């Protein structure tokens, strides 16, 4: 420090440092101020500086360092306790507990020393008249941490039985510690019961419920309360993030992710706190933090991810892979635990660490709803996992099952082919007919199976957009012919057509391949069971591809689009007539899916053309074909599309029923994209209906999970998260909503301006609910920036108004005033006088608070002028302008009176002063009369409009103003008449107002 600070400078600096964020910077500044306080020779300043430094250490990773300043405080107390104020005396005794528990976190601190301090604490508390509750808690912590279970149990009983007094720890913190003890005893249910007041937010403090939310995660999972565990993670991590005094809680969140299939999320949290891996600080907190990190790092090599980078940047001076960081932290944790064990004389700490690190995953996957990196197991690891998980079975049996499922069109067929492929690849199969299931030997697959596996590979390549799909399909067709399966070969030739189209082959080549496929289908023997299906498949494919090729050949000319769609619809209708007739109730079973697909596509075309009635009928017919043929999974998608159409038509109940049926029919589906989109449709429909937001959140969460599995996190998965966040927000779960939406926001911003604006508006509302007015204002302003380019400027004006409200709430007056004035301009430009009037009134009140009376009155006058005209809406806004102007005049009058009270009193007999006072009094009464006139004018208009709550506000203010004018009885008469009128009104609103009105009348008459 370059210059000596005065005691007053130090006090000011201490106040500033006490408000600084917890951490090393605050601690370092506290140390500087203690040194400066010593140099002043002022004992009061030194005590304040020492107490401030102890508090800074307590809420940081340097908690153990508080012993030095506390020892000096103890010297000051013993030297002159009278020098401590009442508040400082309380704080001195309070931090005695911190010093005692702080010693336990230092393995170099002998137990004998800690016992000595515990005895000293007990003596001083007894002398000061405190109960033994805090002392017994300190004894419990000593016994529990050092491995003396009998003493811990006795101390726990004495602690919880003792009376709570001013020296007892924060009740929320006590319950945290009590619940944690129950967990270590193996009683998760009792722990959760103990924590309930904190988890329900009835008890709070600076670090609660942050710590308890983290402690509750694994007990909730172990007891099957997965929804609560998810919620506690989202809410708790948001509270704890970035707070270095809560690193043990961060470790618990990482551990939770590691044990619930959310390793990617765990790595994301670790990356956010990666700098703390090089900050050793408090040994106990360090061990708790890295214990959670190690739980995660030990999971990753098991997924084949040991060689990937662990965190951005370097740890201990160099970049670290997962395996490298695991080895480094494993050694450190082992050494730290050993140091505590040496101090304690047992293996308590090492044993607890070992149990923690040996924990197996509790669930395969617990969807969290947030967008987080997905960690796919390395291919070799995934193959081993599939093989290990599968029961022993022969390829022959599996092939039989796969062919049966394929014949049914069952979605699960592909997964059985996956399993066959894995078994053949590892050559662990049994000779057909020669071995029991489970017996294994190397064999060469039969020709038919070779062809089928080739087809499976080719179709997988096609789904992935691999240009190698076509050669594989050509090889497949040849293999089927070699296996004497002409029907399958004909299908492969049709699949070649789509592979060629996907890879961008010219139209003439597509038509040539289509003709080849048609010839192969026609050439099938009339007795071939699949001949009709193959011919129908070619016909349907020809209709669809024909439309694509015509559009391509026209140069994608939009002028021909309508005609192209009409021709496609006619071709599809012809297909349905030729192969299925018009009776969707009894379709040919082998063609049910083809006919349903054609009708579904026709429904989409009808919807695009604006023919909703025909679209609904076709979606319904498509679904009926699937269910009638015993293939409900084929009905799921057309039902979901019908549900979306019905919702667009405002037929909410029918839409919900259709969406629920779609989800039910889709239970056999295994494609994650299909599973996700079915649930997303239902979530969207439920969210749009009042009172169904909680159920909407459930389906949106499931949708996000499945869409993540499908690789659609940035697309439909992001929209699912937007729905999830909005549903959470509307059911009072704002913290969870914020975590979900912030994780998806980058993806949503890339989905077009309307989606981006909706996301920002939703996030702004959520942040506002959390009290983050500045953050909300930022999101509203960003939404306004996008909307300013739209033809319709009403959203722009609305966002400007909302931003102004939030800026005002954040205490940014000048910015709020500017935003309100901008909103007024925008509302006026859109021809919306109501919005302009409201913004003008809002800025008027800001001017009142700033003492700008004339500006406030002028703005109120402008607000009234803006809503001149006929109609109830304009009258309502004029009524609000009248009564708020009256209130504004009265508030300005009160402020003037307060300012005059602060001035010098005039002496009795001072005629000039007396005259001025009388004149001022007369002017004030005139203002009150004007205010009454305006309030009455507003009340009359509101009565005519049937607006009760604001009318009551006007009449009550008039009554009290009458009292200020010396007309108490007149004011009371007004209130009595209003009480009688409201009491006779049979509405919930009126009944709720009567007690408040009667209370006002009672006080006015007293």
Sign of CA dihedral 898, 900, 905, 909: negative
Residue whose C-alpha is closest to residue 622's, from 610, 633, 612: 633
CA gap 552, 545 in Å, rounded = 10
CB neighbourhood size of 331 (10 A): 10
- pLDDT on residue 827: 96
Element containing residue 30 per DSSP (H, E): helix 24-40
Q: pLDDT of 267-294, one tens digit each?
A: 999 999 998 998 887 899 999 999 999 9
Q: Which residue has the higher pLDDT, 179 or 93?
A: 179
Do 76 and 45 touch, CB atoms closer than 8 A? Answer: no
CA gap 780, 785 in Å, rounded = 9
Q: Which residues contact 403 (CB under 8 A, 6 or more apart)?
A: 452
- pLDDT on residue 141: 95
Mean of the pLDDT values across residues 605-630?
Answer: 95
CA distances for 726 relative to 78, 445, 763, angstroms: 59, 53, 9
CA gap 118, 140 in Å, rounded = 11
CA gap 191, 184 in Å, rounded = 9
| Residues 896-904: contacts with CB under 8 Å, at least 24 apart | 896/924, 897/924
Give the burial class of 830: count Cβ atoms within 10 A of its Cβ; 0-12 exposed, 13-18 middle, 19 or more buried: middle
Mean of the pLDDT values across residues 587-609?
Answer: 89
pLDDT over 90, % of the chain: 75
- pLDDT on residue 436: 42
- pLDDT on residue 807: 97
Q: Residue 575 pLDDT more than 60?
A: yes
SS3 441: strand
CA gap 955, 941 in Å, rounded = 12
Mean of the pLDDT values across residues 948-964?
Answer: 95
Mean of the pLDDT values across residues 778-783?
Answer: 98
Number of continuous H segments (helices) and E segments (strands) in the chain: 46, 2
Phi first, then psi, for residue 315 (nearest 5°) are -125, 130
Split at pLDDT 50, 70, 90, the class of 432 is very low
CA gap 245, 105 in Å, rounded = 13
Q: Which residues contact 668 (CB under 8 A, 6 or more apart)?
A: 410, 411, 412, 632, 633
Average pLDDT taken over every residue of the chain? 90
Element containing residue 318 per DSSP (H, E): strand 318-321
Sign of CA dihedral 601, 604, 606, 608: negative
Buried b (16+ CB within 10 A) or exposed e, 148-176: beeebeebbebbeebeeeebbbebbbbbb
CA gap 333, 287 in Å, rounded = 6
- pLDDT on residue 650: 95
Q: Residue 913 pLDDT more than 50?
A: no
Do 53 and 69 touch, CB atoms closer than 8 A? Answer: yes
Give the burial class of 8: count Cβ atoms within 10 A of its Cβ; 0-12 exposed, 13-18 middle, 19 or more buried: exposed
Q: Which residues contact 910 (CB under 8 A, 6 or more apart)?
A: none
pTM for the structure as a whole? 0.86
- pLDDT on residue 958: 95
CA gap 902, 157 in Å, rounded = 58
pLDDT over 70, % of the chain: 93
Which of 420-424, 813-817, 892-896 shows the lowest mean pLDDT across its residues? Answer: 892-896
DSSP string of 304-317, one letter each residue: T-TTSEEEEEEETT
Q: pLDDT of 684-739, one tens digit each?
A: 999 999 999 999 999 999 999 999 999 999 999 999 999 999 999 999 999 999 99
Mean of the pLDDT values across residues 296-300?
Answer: 94
- pLDDT on residue 883: 95
Q: Residue 378 pLDDT more than 60?
A: no
CA gap 329, 960 in Å, rounded = 71
Q: pLDDT of 149-162, one tens digit each?
A: 999 999 999 999 99
Query: Helices 133-146 and 348-357 meet at what angle, rounded to 10?
Result: 70
Mean of the pLDDT values across residues 594-608?
Answer: 96
Q: Residue 107 pLDDT more than 90?
A: yes
- pLDDT on residue 909: 41
Residue whose C-alpha is closest to residue 747's, from 776, 781, 713: 713
CA gap 125, 139 in Å, rounded = 14
Mean of the pLDDT values across residues 660-679?
Answer: 96
Split at pLDDT 50, 70, 90, the class of 440 is very low
Split at pLDDT 50, 70, 90, the class of 900 is low
Mean of the pLDDT values across residues 833-851?
Answer: 94
- pLDDT on residue 920: 57
Give Cα 114 distance to the centre of its chain.
44
Split at pLDDT 50, 70, 90, the class of 54 is confident
Do 634 and 589 touch, CB atoms closer than 8 A? Answer: no
Do 488 and 475 touch, CB atoms closer than 8 A? Answer: no
Which of 57-66, 342-351, 788-797 shows the lowest mean pLDDT across its residues? Answer: 57-66
SS3 282: coil
Q: Which residue has the higher pLDDT, 100 or 472?
A: 472
Residue whose C-alpha is closest to residue 719's, from 766, 751, 674, 671: 751
Mean of the pLDDT values across residues 253-274?
Answer: 95
Mean of the pLDDT values across residues 503-511?
Answer: 93
CB neighbourhood size of 617 (10 A): 16
Split at pLDDT 50, 70, 90, the class of 902 is very low
Sign of CA dihedral 878, 879, 885, 886: positive
Give the burial class of 915: count Cβ atoms within 10 A of its Cβ; 0-12 exposed, 13-18 middle, 19 or more buried: exposed
């Amino acid at each position: 420090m370059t210059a000596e600070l005065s005691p007053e400078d130090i006090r000011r600096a201490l106040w500033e440092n006490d408000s600084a964020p917890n951490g090393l910077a605050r601690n370092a500044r506290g140390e500087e101020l203690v040194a400066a306080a010593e140099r002043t020779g002022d004992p009061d300043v030194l005590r304040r500086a020492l107490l401030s430094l102890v508090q800074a250490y307590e809420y940081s990773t340097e908690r153990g360092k508080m012993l030095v300043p506390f020892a000096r405080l103890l010297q000051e107390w013993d030297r002159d306790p009278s020098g401590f104020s009442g508040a400082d005396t309380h704080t001195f005794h309070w931090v005695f507990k911190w010093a005692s528990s702080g010693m336990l976190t230092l393995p170099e601190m002998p137990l004998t020393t800690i016992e000595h301090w515990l005895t000293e604490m007990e003596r001083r508390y007894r002398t000061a008249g405190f109960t033994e509750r805090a002392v017994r808690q300190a004894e419990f912590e000593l016994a529990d941490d050092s491995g003396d279970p009998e003493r811990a149990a006795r101390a726990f009983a004495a602690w919880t039985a003792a009376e709570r007094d001013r020296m007892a720890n924060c009740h929320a913190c006590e319950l945290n510690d009590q619940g944690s003890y129950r967990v270590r005893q193996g009683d998760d249910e009792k722990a959760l019961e103990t924590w309930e007041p904190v988890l329900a937010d009835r008890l709070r403090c600076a670090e609660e419920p942050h710590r308890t939310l983290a402690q509750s995660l694994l007990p909730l999972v172990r007891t099957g309360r997965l929804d609560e565990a998810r919620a506690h993670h989202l809410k708790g991590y948001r509270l704890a993030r970035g707070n270095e005094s809560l690193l043990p809680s961060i470790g618990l969140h990482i551990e939770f992710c590691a044990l619930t299939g959310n390793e990617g999320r765990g790595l994301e949290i670790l990356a956010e706190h990666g700098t703390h891996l090089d900050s050793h600080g408090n040994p106990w907190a360090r061990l708790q933090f890295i214990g959670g990190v190690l739980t995660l790092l030990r999971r990753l090599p098991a997924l084949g991810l040991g060689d990937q980078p662990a965190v951005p940047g370097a740890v201990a001076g160099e970049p670290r892979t997962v395996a490298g960081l695991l080895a480094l932290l494993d050694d450190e944790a082992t050494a730290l635990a050993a140091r505590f064990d040496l101090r304690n004389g047992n293996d308590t700490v090492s044993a607890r660490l070992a149990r923690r690190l040996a924990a197996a995953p509790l669930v395969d996957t617990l969807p969290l709803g947030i967008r987080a990196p997905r960690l796919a197991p390395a291919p070799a690891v995934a193959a081993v996992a599939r093989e290990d998980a599968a029961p022993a079975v022969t390829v022959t049996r599996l092939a039989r099952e796969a062919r049966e499922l394929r014949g049914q069109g069952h979605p699960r067929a592909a997964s059985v082919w996956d399993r066959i492929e894995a078994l053949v690849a590892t050559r662990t199969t049994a000779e057909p007919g020669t071995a029991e299931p489970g017996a294994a030997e190397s064999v060469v697959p039969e020709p038919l199976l070779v062809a089928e596996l080739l087809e499976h590979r080719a179709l997988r390549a096609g789904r992935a957009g691999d240009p190698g799909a076509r050669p594989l399909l050509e090889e497949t067709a040849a293999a089927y012919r070699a296996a004497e399966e002409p029907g399958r070969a004909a299908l492969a030739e049709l699949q070649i057509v789509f592979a060629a189209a996907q890879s961008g082959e010219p139209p003439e080549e597509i038509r040539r391949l289509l003709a080849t496929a048609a010839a192969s289908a026609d050439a099938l023997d009339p007795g071939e069971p699949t001949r009709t299906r193959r011919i129908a498949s070619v016909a349907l494919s020809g209709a669809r591809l024909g439309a694509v090729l015509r559009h391509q050949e026209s140069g994608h000319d939009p002028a021909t689009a309508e005609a192209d769609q009409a021709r496609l619809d006619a071709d599809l209708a012809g297909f349905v007539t030729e192969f299925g007739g018009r009776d969707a109730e009894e379709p040919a079973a082998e063609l049910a899916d083809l006919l349903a697909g054609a009708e579904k596509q026709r429904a989409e075309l009808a919807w695009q053309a604006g023919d909703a009635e025909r679209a609904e009928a076709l979606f319904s017919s498509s679904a009926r074909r699937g269910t009638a043929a015993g293939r409900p999974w084929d009905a799921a998608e057309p039902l979901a599309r019908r549900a979306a159409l019905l919702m667009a038509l405002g037929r909410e109940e029918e839409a919900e029923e259709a969406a629920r049926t779609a989800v039910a029919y889709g239970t056999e589906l295994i494609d994650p994209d299909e599973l996700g989109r079915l649930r997303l449709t239902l979530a969207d429909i439920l969210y749009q209906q009042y009172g169904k937001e909680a159920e909407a959140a459930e389906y949106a969460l499931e949708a996000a999970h499945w869409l993540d599995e499908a690789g659609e996190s940035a697309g439909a998965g992001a929209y699912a998260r937007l729905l999830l966040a909005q549903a959470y927000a509307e059911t009072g779960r704002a913290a969870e909503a914020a975590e979900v939406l912030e994780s998806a926001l980058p993806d949503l911003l890339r989905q077009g301006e309307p989606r981006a604006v909706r996301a920002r508006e939703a996030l702004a509302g959520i942040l506002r609910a959390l009290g983050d007015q500045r953050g909300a204002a930022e999101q509203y302003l960003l939404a306004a920036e996008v909307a300013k380019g739209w033809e319709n400027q009403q959203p722009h004006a609305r966002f400007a108004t909302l931003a102004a409200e939030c800026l005002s709430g954040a205490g940014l007056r000048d910015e709020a005033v500017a935003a309100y004035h901008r909103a007024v301009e925008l509302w006026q430009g859109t021809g919306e006088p109501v919005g302009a009037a409201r913004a003008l009134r809002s800025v008027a009140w800001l001017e009142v608070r700033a003492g700008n009376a004339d500006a406030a009155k002028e703005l109120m006058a402008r607000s009234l002028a803006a809503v001149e005209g006929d109609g109830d809406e304009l009258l309502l806004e004029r009524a609000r302008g009248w009564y708020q102007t009256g209130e504004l005049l009265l508030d300005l009058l009160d402020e003037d009176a307060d300012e005059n009270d602060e001035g010098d009193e005039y002496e009795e007999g001072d005629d000039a002063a007396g005259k001025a006072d009388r004149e001022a009094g007369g002017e004030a009464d005139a203002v009150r009369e004007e205010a009454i006139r305006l309030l009455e004018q507003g009340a009359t208009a509101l009565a005519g409009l049937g607006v009760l709550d604001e009318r009551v506000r006007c009449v009550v203010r008039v009554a009290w103003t009458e009292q200020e004018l010396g007309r108490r009885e007149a004011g009371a008469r007004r209130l009595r008449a209003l009480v009688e009128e409201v009491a006779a009104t049979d509405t919930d609103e009126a009944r709720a107002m009567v007690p408040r009105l009667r209370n006002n009348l009672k006080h006015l008459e007293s």
